[in-house]
Amino acid sequence: MQLYNYFRSSASYRVRIALALKGLDYEYKPVHLVKREQLAESYAAVSASRLVPLLRDGDATLTQSMAIIEYLDETHPEPPLLPKEALGRARVRALAQDMACEIHPLNNLRVLRYLVHDLKVSEDDKNRWYRHWVETGLEVVERQMAEHPATGRFCHGDTPGLADCVLVPQVFNAQRFNCRLDHVPTVMRVYEACMQLDAFDKTQPAACPDAE
């Protein structure tokens, strides 16, 4: 397998964690988003969406981090990244989507670029925007996790899964932009538990081959 990704892309980090949890080897193919390599002709030939991450598995090309992780879970079932029962699966997917659909899309590079270049938003306002969506969005995640009986050492029970693959990169982003995190103690407790595992620690942005 080959993973096209960028060290700082949190959607890429999600997939690196899942591959590591599954114990799967892959070739690391860096795509430098700040240099806009994702828009180059060479990458367009690989990727119709021109987004990272992208996973190649034999002849197949897979995009969208959560879809890739579910694919890995279906094709390499052990260890499972989703629970067995439908309600648990729905909870884990909803937690992942609370971050992947409600927080992260507002804060990715091309959106920040549009704010600054097209809407002429100041650096301060851009940072406020970033923190606003992270802080309010993680508060939603906290409310769903704090008093839920299914929350364990990790987002759902005592083994890491899809929601943890999304939570950890989101907290990394939050810390990089100095977001408030003292209002989300359960999120941070789970983050700390994850970072004690190699699958999360050894795939973090600073540990990537293309890290700067």
Distance CA 175, CA 181 (A): 8
Pick the stretch among 20-28, 118-126, 172-180, 201-209 that binds a second copy (CB under 8 A): 118-126
| DSSP for residue 51 | -
Distance CA 185, CA 182 (A): 6
Distance CA 140, CA 125 (A): 23
CB 190 within 8 A of CB 169: no
Nearer to a second copy, 46 or 197 (CB): 46
If binding is defined by CB under 8 A, does position 113 make contact with a second copy?
no
Nearer to a second copy, 140 or 197 (CB): 140
Nearer to a second copy, 27 or 118 (CB): 118
Q: Where are the alpha helices (DSSP H) in the chain?
A: 10-22, 41-44, 65-75, 86-100, 109-117, 123-146, 162-176, 185-195, 198-201
If binding is defined by CB under 8 A, does position 32 make contact with a second copy?
no
With CB under 8 A as the contact rule, the residue among 32, 36, 56, 93 that binds a second copy is 93
Nearer to a second copy, 102 or 201 (CB): 102
If binding is defined by CB under 8 A, does position 68 make contact with a second copy?
yes
CB 188 within 8 A of CB 181: yes
Residues between 145 and 204 that touch a second copy (CB under 8 A): none
Nearer to a second copy, 90 or 207 (CB): 90
If binding is defined by CB under 8 A, does position 52 make contact with a second copy?
no
Distance CA 206, CA 122 (A): 28
**Helix, strand, or coil here: 5?**
strand
With CB under 8 A as the contact rule, the residue among 49, 113, 152, 176 that binds a second copy is 49
Residues engaged in binding a second copy (CB under 8 A): 48-51, 60, 62-64, 66-68, 70-71, 74-75, 86-87, 89-91, 93-94, 97-98, 100-102, 104-106, 111, 114-115, 118-119, 121, 125, 128-129, 132, 140, 143-144
